[in-house]
Amino acid sequence: MNDTAATETQTAEAKPAETPVEKTETTLDDLLNEFKDTPQESPKAEPPKVEALKPEEIDDLRKFRDEQRMDRVRKEVTQTVESIREAHKDVLGWMTNDWIEGRLDAEARKDPRIGKAFLERDRNPEAWAKVRQKLGERLAEEIKSRPNPQLTADRDAARAAVSGQTATQPSNDIDPKKFNSMTERELEEYVKARRKA
């Protein structure tokens, strides 16, 4: 071997061998992965700022809420009155809604538990139905103890028919001052005319 060849071999051995850089081919998947959504922290959305309500707006909202409540109470009071009238129509049928409502109000003022039961009727409807039934019975008993004007008039008419009298009272068509100033003859003529009528 000659010296140059030996030197080249030694140099080749002495020099570290350069490793060829392997070029790997980039695949489509690798390229598409670059567009993959990477979890990035999204900026925290701040809650929207709400302007404070003006006192007038607060008052309007309160009024609206109160009106809604009153409408609901009015409707339910009307339903209560009608259900009591219907349950006792033989006795309370001729009474006005205002009278029944007034009596219920009077009962509630005497016994605050009635008002409390009404306010809590949605929480315990069965108990309210029983209270409503008892109130109806109480009103019916109260009315039974009072005379019914129509029944009284009918009874009086029946008595008058049996006895042959008229049930209607003569109308007082004469001025009392004139009545006091009548002569005896005028008075007798007036009485005869009234008997014929």
pLDDT in tens, the chain (197 residues): 555 555 555 555 555 555 555 556 766 565 556 555 555 566 677 777 778 888 898 899 899 999 999 999 899 999 999 999 999 888 888 888 999 999 999 988 998 898 888 888 888 888 888 989 999 998 998 888 877 677 777 777 787 777 776 655 555 566 666 767 778 888 888 888 877 76
Residue span of the structural domain in which 98 resides: 56-147
Residue 70 lies in a domain: yes
Q: Which two tokens stand for residue 142?
A: 């109260």
Residue 21 lies in a domain: no
Full-model pTM: 0.47
Residues 95 and 143: beta-carbon distance below 8 Å: yes
Q: Is 114 helix (H, G, I), strand (E, B) or coil?
A: helix
Q: Residue 170: exposed, middle, or buried by beta-carbon count in 10 A (0-12, 13-18, 19+)?
A: exposed
Predicted confidence at residue 193, as pLDDT, reads: 81
Residue 39 lies in a domain: no
Residues 118 and 108: beta-carbon distance below 8 Å: yes
Q: What is the domain count for the chain? A: 1
Residue 128 lies in a domain: yes
Residues 115 and 128: beta-carbon distance below 8 Å: no
Residue 129 lies in a domain: yes
Residue 14 lies in a domain: no
Residue 84 lies in a domain: yes
Residue 8 lies in a domain: no
